[in-house]
Amino acid sequence: MQIENAPTLTIQQAGQVSGQSVIASGVWQVHGLSQHGVLKGITQQLASLKDKSACTWDLSGVDSLDHIGAQMFWNTWNKQRPPRLTLDPRQEDVFKRIEEASKIALPRQRVSPFDWIIKLGADMLAFFGHLRSFITLVGIVVQDLWRFVRHPATGPWREVSANIHHSGFQALGITAIVGFLIGIVLSYLSSQQLRMFGADAYLVNILGMAVIRELGPLLAAILVAGRSGSSITAQLGVMRVTEELDAMLVMGVSHGYRLILPKVIALAISMPLLVVWTDAMALLGGMVSAKIEMGMSFRYFLQKLPEAVPFVNYSIGLLKGVTFGVLIALIACHFGLRIKPDTESLGRGTTTSVVTAITVVILADAVYAIIFSDTGF
């Protein structure tokens, strides 16, 4: 069915490709081009004519032309008028505006060969900015802690209790599952190797030292950083977005005393308990795996554990728990307070908080390994 006044292209062949003559007619406006099946056919015809600068173009038969139709011709002509072109005088203004617009030079971003130095400098400045803010936050927490010690009756006991519940009690399930599974895996792999050398009895030593001294505190800290650390950052970030932090300052309520200090104290209390809980679940998983793989009884495992693991290792594990808990809380609060009042900053700040907390925890664990390298063996 022929559509009335539909845009059409008539291509006349003069024996050679260079001698093609293109005659346009009809209504080359958006409502004419948008009719069913028209735009696809016109686009294919124009695509076949692209890069053929020797064609003769005759647009004098076009009834009406808008910028959409003119831009289709302009793109086919590679953004310049062909040598042989016939236009209706009414079409001159449209093509003149398109031609002037195509000559506007877009600003080009200059790339310096020392651009990497500029980025490195910016990253270093950002790092020292974070470090300065973090040290300031630590000072505020120390001042608030001293105030809490001097006036315990007016302290944020309710906030501390709520944070212990959220960060400690509610994390028992995930830490138990992960600890139990890690204990099973570690016991299974160790038993496979020890059986080759007839050293089955040393499985208790490997599990005890690995879990109590290293894996228990590290697993608990990573899980708490991902679970509770992100929650703290998101909570403070939402309070920033909803302007609750500004409202607290207007009412004279200290951020540090009512928001940051309770979280730091709560994680300092919860983390050692979670470390003990994770150690117990990991050792239970190790015992179950040792019973299945090697036939080692639970009684023998529990009797050998105190001999295999000196008591000082338990103290090191608890000390790590306290340190990791304080670091996670401080880092989460640091990034939460730096979030800008928009949702994009909230998501980016929460992700950065978790990654930074896990990285710092692993670095702190490495420092502990160096300091206590000659202790507990």
Same domain, residue pair 278 and 207: yes
**Buried-exposed string 57-83: b where 16+ CB fall within 10 A, e elsewhere:** bbbeebeebeeebbbbbbebbeeeebe
**Is residue 197 assigned to a domain?**
yes
Length of the chain equals: 377
pLDDT of residue 19: 63
**Is residue 111 assigned to a domain?**
no
Same domain, residue pair 97 and 209: no
Of the residues 102, 134, 153, the one at which a domain ends: 102
pLDDT of residue 14: 57
Check: CB of residue 372 under 8 Å from CB of residue 272: no
pLDDT of residue 376: 62
Burial of 288 (0-12, 13-18, 19+ CB in 10 A): middle
pLDDT of residue 161: 92
**Is residue 109 assigned to a domain?**
no
Which tokens sit at 287?
A: 């015992």
**Is residue 114 assigned to a domain?**
no
**Is residue 28 assigned to a domain?**
yes
Show the low-confidence residues of the chain (pLDDT under 70).
1-5, 13-19, 36-37, 53, 104-109, 198, 376-377
The domain in which residue 216 lies consists of 119-371
The one-character DSSP state at 57 is E
**Is residue 192 assigned to a domain?**
yes
Phi then psi dihedrals of residue 100, to 5 deg: -65, -35
pLDDT of residue 343: 78
The CATH number assigned to the domain holding 15 equals 3.30.750.24
Same domain, residue pair 245 and 331: yes
pLDDT of residue 1: 42
Same domain, residue pair 133 and 247: yes
The one-character DSSP state at 16 is S
Of the residues 71, 102, 133, the one at which a domain ends: 102
**Is residue 376 assigned to a domain?**
no
Same domain, residue pair 133 and 49: no
pTM: 0.69
Same domain, residue pair 180 and 218: yes
Same domain, residue pair 86 and 153: no
Same domain, residue pair 174 and 71: no
Domain count, the chain: 2
Which tokens sit at 236?
A: 């403070």
User: Max CA-CA distance within the chain?
Assistant: 103
Same domain, residue pair 81 and 191: no
Same domain, residue pair 249 and 168: yes
Q: What is the 3-state secondary structure (H, E, C) of 267-326?
A: HHHHHHHHHHHHHHHHHHHHHHHHHHHHCCCHHHHHHHHHHHCCHHHHHHHHHHHHHHHH
Which tokens sit at 13?
A: 């062949």
Same domain, residue pair 236 and 324: yes
Of the residues 60, 76, 102, the one at which a domain ends: 102
Which tokens sit at 45?
A: 């015809």
Same domain, residue pair 67 and 127: no
**Is residue 151 assigned to a domain?**
yes
pLDDT of residue 105: 65
pLDDT of residue 15: 52
Q: Could you tell me how far CA 259 lies from the centroid of its own chain?
A: 25
